[in-house]
Homo-oligomer: A and B are copies of this chain.
Amino acid sequence: MTRPPRRARAVDVAARAGVSVATVSFVVNGKAEGRVSPATRLRVLDAIAALGYVTDASARALATGRRRQVALLAHDMTNPFTAQVAAGAAAGIAEATEGTGHLLLLLASDDAEPDTEPVGAATVDGVLINYPGTLPAGRPDLPVVHLDDPAAGGHQVSMDVTVGARELAAHLADLGHRHVVFLDSNRPWSTFAERRTAFTGEFTRRVPGAVVTGDRSGIDLAGAVGRAAAALEGWLGSGATAVVTATDVQALGVLSALATAGVPVPGRLSVAAFDDIPFAAVSAPPLTTVALPARELGHRGAVLLSRVIDGTAVDPAPLVLPAHLVVRGSTGPP
């Protein structure tokens, strides 16, 4: 994005249009009616467009067709992974648009699809989507970058979830586990399918007679605690010696349910997960998990989106960030 050498100010607009600063203010603040003649108003709007006057973002948007905002569509901003993505995206947008001041608009919902109407209503220049399967309605031309959605087409940034899942499967196989419960997310998103499929494929390839029992829960703490408490007797009775969850938040819920039930971790059940949110390092025991670079995902996605908006992005090619297993105290021999 190009940047004028100096930002135009209201006084510059006034000088070019041959009016007072107060007149400029009436026009940009929508108070021209009855105060400013139509001809003068048009002169001011033209001066705004010519100078790229940016103090009022709305005037600039009309003048340039740019809104200087991008949106992040995400699920549940109280999820620590999402929060890291958002923090990275905010940093990335600030870095990539230095001088043009794009802002990040966070559209998140914790119990329904995010409201994409603001996106459709053209208040943004582009959208980062970290809500798999969700596309802004009615704006097929809008620049979009998908985050962590390997099934999405177009511009995207994802993570090498498969490599991380295989490392986790190898770790549990090496420890001697034969029967694992995989507690999936109850949301049908491609990133979760990839986690489950890659783990299960590698675990069954490595372990003769391997059993992977499927289960699922919400990816919120309460949902995972509830499911683990209800299913625990069944898990233990089935002979499972480890529980792998699709997300760290679920694993923290499982650890809580196991502590309440007096089940030793990892003595009786090993627990492992995906994400490596900050809280995973301080749980009791600290959580073995596949580290997925959430902050970098948001950061890289925002930089890519700014290039798509600029028209300087090359043809879509998935950018895949590395993932790796972090072994901590929640996994041990069966």
Which residues of chain A have a CB within 8 Å of any CB of chain B? 28-31, 33, 38, 41-42, 45-46, 49, 54-59, 61-69, 76-78, 80, 83-84, 86-87, 90, 94, 101, 103-108, 110, 115, 117-118, 121-123, 221-222, 225, 252-253, 255-256, 259, 278-279, 281-284, 286
Contacts and interface: CB of A to CB of B under 8 A. Distances in A.
Please indicate which of the listed interface residues A86, A225, A286 has the most CB atoms of chain B within 10 Å of its own CB.
A86
Contacts of A42: 38, 41-42
Contacts of A122: 55-58
A78 B83 contact: yes
Contacts of A121: 54-57, 101
Contact of A279 (B76, B87, B101, B279): B279
A115 B90 CA distance: 11
Contacts of A281: 221, 256
Number of copies: 2
Given A55-B122, A62-B62, A104-B105, 8 more contacts: A55-B121, A57-B67, A58-B62, A69-B105, A77-B86, A78-B83, A78-B278, A256-B282
Contacts of A278: 78, 221-222
Contacts of A54: 121
Nearest to A114: B90
A96 B252 CA distance: 35
Contact of A282 (B61, B103, B225): B225
Nearest to A76: B87
A188 to B, nearest CB: 23
A29 to B, nearest CB: 5
Contacts of A105: 69, 103-106
A282 B223 CA distance: 13
Given A56-B121, A67-B58, A279-B221, A94 B106 contact: no
B49 A33 contact: yes
A77 B66 CA distance: 27
5 contacts: A33-B49, A58-B67, A101-B117, A101-B118, A225-B282
Contact of A83 (B68, B83, B90, B221): B83
A76 B278 CA distance: 13
A221 B25 CA distance: 46
Contacts of A66: 30
